[in-house]
Structure 1
């Protein structure tokens, strides 16, 4: 499995607010299924980040497009494969 960083810059603040509940449900489902490693918003309000776990970039593009923020046009997306380096203990 590989890790992919998906940046979600805000396109429409109004749509971001409107689709927030669906986006949060989507994230919870992805975490429960083991497809999302971590996520969070940027403190400066410019958007957020989702770290996906997947086999390929094509799989991540499909996952990102299913996010209600992306499918509604509230957010854009930019994906980069991420080679994580850490000494942190990762929760299972």
Structure 2
């Protein structure tokens, strides 16, 4: 059974983040199309962003996070937390 994981992507370098933004967005679109990414977005205060993955294990999510262009190019770091999703209606 898949579990939900939240990945926080705190900003390390705003300049690198801007430089690698399109590659990051393309990577997220691929994960979305694979059906493993259910929500993502940036924090409007510039802190960074947040992703919500559905996966079999935290190790799988760690691999995805480490292959994100933002993380590869040290524009962002990451932090993973398993999320006990109870209910969601993200279209409100």
TM-score, length of structure 2 as denominator length? 0.93
User: Do structure 1's residue 10 and structure 2's residue 3 form an aligned pair?
Assistant: no
1:88 Cα offset (Å): 2.6
TM-score, length of structure 1 as denominator length? 0.93
Runs of 4+ aligned structure 1 residues displaced above 4 Å come to none
- In structure 1, the residue matched to 2:59 is 58
Aligned pairs, how many? 90
- Structural mapping, 1:37-76, within 5 Å: 37-76=38-77
Unpaired runs of 5+ residues, structure 2, are none
Distance 1:15 1:87, change over 3 A: closer
Distance 1:17 1:33 in 2: 25
